[in-house]
Amino acid sequence: MTEERDGQVNASKTSGESVVVVGLGYVGLPLLVEMVRAGHRVIGLDRSAAVVDSLNAGRSHIDDVGDATIAEILAAGFRSTVDAACIAEADTVVVCVPTPLSRDGAPDLGAVEGVGRMLGERLTSDTLVVLESTTYPGTTEEFFQPLVEAGGLRVGENLCLAFSPERVDPGNRVYGIRNTPKVVGGVTTTCTQRAVDFYASFIDTVVSAKGTREAEMAKLLENTYRHINIALVNEMARFSHELGIDLWNVIDCAKTKPFGFQAFYPGPGVGGHCIPIDPNYLSHTVQARLHYPFRFVELAQEVNAGMPNYVARRIQDRLNDDGKAVRGSTVLLLGVTYKANIADERESPAVPLALKLEAMGADVRFHDPYVDVWNAAEHGDPQRLLKGEQNLSSALREADIVVLLQAHREYLDGALDGVGVFDTRGVLAGSEVVRL
Residues with catalytic roles: 274
Measure the CA–CA gap between 336 and 350, rounded to whole angstroms: 5
Measure the CA–CA gap between 286 and 294, rounded to whole angstroms: 7
Give the 3-state secondary structure of residue 11: coil
Measure the CA–CA gap between 44 and 55, rounded to whole angstroms: 9
- Among 143, 157, 25, 152, smallest CA distance to 95 is for 25
184: β partners: 208
Which phi and psi angles does 405 have, rounded to 5°? -100, -30
- Among 88, 128, 64, smallest CA distance to 343 is for 64
Measure the CA–CA gap between 99 and 205, rounded to whole angstroms: 26
DSSP state of 101: B
Question: Could you tell me the sign of the dihedral formed by the alpha carbons of 154, 157, 159, 163, in that order?
Answer: positive
- Among 153, 163, 86, 164, smallest CA distance to 126 is for 153
User: How is 342-407 classified by DSSP, letter by letter?
Assistant: S---TT-THHHHHHHHHHTT-EEEEE-TT-SEEETTSS--GGGEEEPPS-HHHHHHH-SEEEE-S-
Amino acid at site 311? V
The half-sphere exposure of 432 on its side-chain side, counting CA atoms within 13 A, is 10
For residue 213, what is the enclosing H or E element? helix 212-243
Measure the CA–CA gap between 92 and 15, rounded to whole angstroms: 11
Question: Are 140 and 163 spatial neighbours (Cβ–Cβ below 8 Å)?
Answer: yes
